[in-house]
Amino acid sequence: MPSPIDRLTALDQLMLRASTVWPQDIGALALLEGTNLLEPTGRFRIEAVREAIGSRLQLVPRFRQVVYVPRRGLGGPLWVDAPSFDLSEHVRVLPLPAGSGEADLLVATEQLRGRRLDPSRPLWALWFLTGLPDNQVALFVKLHHSIADGMAAMATISALLDTA
């Protein structure tokens, strides 16, 4: 049975058009207790994190989809599965210098926030920032407003994460 056509809402289309001039991304920064995320050497367990997130991607279909614009006369833009998907392009580690503090974290987060999302890929990214004191790891989440907004975005992200 073919999948139903999943067209973008008028608001989603407005957000995507506006993002060509002014980014329509939303983001959140969280500090995590990193004991289970770091090896004893301090190396971030990126493979395990990607595996955990990858096992939950079916809960958030938009995270594997891109916007497709059909030719004129065939209707408005729609969400389609990305022709190729590489989780490593969306879940990354950014090591900060050891002993980095809040100011360093905020500068790095602002640099990440300023990067544009690639419209040829699903419109989201997660960065784990290491190098913070007390085994803390920061998580910066960025996604396009057309995927989710506000509380819906937080619910979307929480579906991918594990409290342990």
| pLDDT tens for each residue of 27-52 | 889 999 999 999 998 899 999 999 99
What DSSP character marks residue 20? T
Answer yes or no: is pLDDT of 150 > 70: no
- 3-class DSSP state of 17: helix
pLDDT greater than 70 at residue 149: no
Q: Would you state the pLDDT for residue 96?
A: 96
What is the distance, to the nearest Å, from the Cα of residue 8 to the centroid of all Cα atoms in its chain? 19
Q: Which residues have a catalytic role annotated?
A: 145
